[in-house]
Each structure stands twice: as C-alpha cells, then as structure tokens.
C-alpha cells in the first residue's frame, strides 16, 4: 500500500463564487475533517477547522446560494469549527469524482490554504494511484509532493513530535519561555531538562520548525 501527497491548484471555474475580494476574506487555512455526500438530496455535509476571521467567513457563506446551513463553534479568537450543508456543484462533483475509484482512500484532513490551493493525501494500491493524475478535470494543476509507502504524519502532533520534543516544549511553557513578554529564560529550560542550553535550544527550534510546517501544510 502506498500513499501520495498532492497539491492541487484549481482553475477559477472550480472555486466557490465568493462575492467579494479574496484578500478581504482573511481565511488563512481550512482543514476539512469529515464530509458526507447525500446522493438523494445532492448535498454535502462537512465539518472543517478554519483559521481566520469567523464573522467574515459567516457573511460570505450565508451569501452563497449553494450554502443551506453554516454553523460556527469558536475555538479561540482566530480559529473555529464550521459545519456546513451545501449543494454539490458540478465543479465539486468533477473534483470528487477523481477520487471515486476502487482502491483509493483520501486521508483526512483535506487542507485548503487559499481558495484555489488544496493539499490532499491519498492512500491506495500503486495501480490506482498511477491512474489518479489522469482522472482530474482539465485545468487542475497538480504537484506531486511525495509518493512512497504510507508513512503519512497525521495532523495530530503525536505523529510529528518526539517525546523529548514534547517534554522540551512543555517545560519551556511552564517556565515562561513562551510568555509574551518572555518571563523565562533558555537557561531555566536547560536546567529543568537537565541538558545544556545548546541542546535545549536545538530541541525547541526543531519542535518549532515541525509546528510551522504543520501550520503551513508542509
């Protein structure tokens, strides 16, 4: 069993018809966690985590004719869950149809980093994966980021950070190293971890790099 990481760039006709300038929306990232298509109503229900301006997102969603329900549950000031029910447009059906082949499984989340840029991991048999690139609609640009035996690091941090990196970050947080303004020093982190300042700095910078990659969908 293999998997591939793909970055898709959608043509304009496949994007949602957002009735305002994209830069005004201020949605930086959407992680599509779960979805279900009802073939009888031809509607899709989905749950996402979105980083951005929730009131702007609500205003845009409620203005779209294809959206029948849009509920928001805040996580913090800049992040929220969104539950939506919307019509399956022809553009949506053509994109989803590329993955609707025996032997293929989408590994959630599907990550949108802009209205036209989609990051998706697909698991499947080599023959099924080989035919996937030919199944996308015309106009979709595809970058293959990786093809290998499935070792996908899921979006949960347990799949990205080592136990020692977790310990370093927890310690740094406890001593105030991540306070704004900072109230704890690297030296205090090193003492608590029983290692040198250089080693503790390397642990923290490595963990921070992993978190940045996770945030940017790398």
What are the structure tokens assigned to 80, written together?
């929220």
Whether pTM > 0.75 for this model: the answer is: no
Each residue's pLDDT expressed in tens, for the chain with a length of 218 residues = 888 999 999 999 998 876 544 445 567 788 899 999 998 999 999 999 998 888 888 988 888 999 999 999 998 888 899 999 999 999 999 999 999 888 899 999 998 988 889 999 999 988 888 889 889 999 999 999 888 876 555 555 555 677 788 889 999 999 999 999 999 999 999 999 999 999 999 999 998 988 887 777 66
Question: Helices in 98-159 by DSSP H: which ranges?
Answer: 126-132
d(CA 127, CA 129): 5
pLDDT on residue 171: 94
Phi/psi of residue 159, nearest 5 degrees: -90, 0
DSSP string, 40-95: TTTEEEEEEEEEE-HHHHHHHHHH-TTEEEEEEEESSSSEEEEEEEEE--HHHHHH
Task: List Cα–Cα distances, 111 to 76, 170, 191, in angstroms.
Answer: 19, 27, 39
Nearest to 70 by CA among 53, 87, 82: 82
The CA angle 21-7-24, to the nearest 5 degrees, is 15
């Amino acid at each position: 069993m293999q998997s591939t990481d793909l970055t898709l760039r959608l043509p304009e006709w496949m994007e949602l018809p957002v009735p305002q300038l994209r830069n005004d929306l201020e949605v930086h990232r959407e992680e599509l966690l779960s979805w279900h298509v009802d073939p009888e109503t031809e509607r899709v229900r989905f749950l996402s985590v979105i980083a951005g301006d929730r009131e702007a997102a609500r205003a845009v969603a409620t203005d779209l004719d294809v959206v029948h329900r849009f509920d928001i549950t805040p996580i913090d000031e800049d992040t929220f869950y969104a539950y939506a029910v919307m019509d399956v447009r022809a553009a949506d059906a053509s994109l989803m149809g590329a993955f609707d082949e025996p032997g293929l499984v989408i590994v959630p989340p599907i990550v949108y980093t802009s209205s036209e840029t989609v990051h998706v991991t697909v698991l499947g048999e080599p023959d099924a994966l080989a035919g996937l690139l030919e199944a996308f609609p015309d106009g979709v640009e595809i970058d293959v980021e990786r093809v290998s035996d499935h070792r996908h690091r899921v979006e949960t941090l347990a799949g990205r950070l080592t136990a020692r990196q977790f310990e370093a970050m927890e310690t740094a947080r406890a001593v105030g190293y991540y306070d704004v303004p900072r109230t704890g020093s690297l030296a205090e982190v090193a003492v608590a971890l029983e290692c040198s300042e250089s080693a503790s700095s390397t642990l923290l910078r490595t963990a921070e790099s992993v978190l940045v990659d996770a945030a940017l969908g790398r």
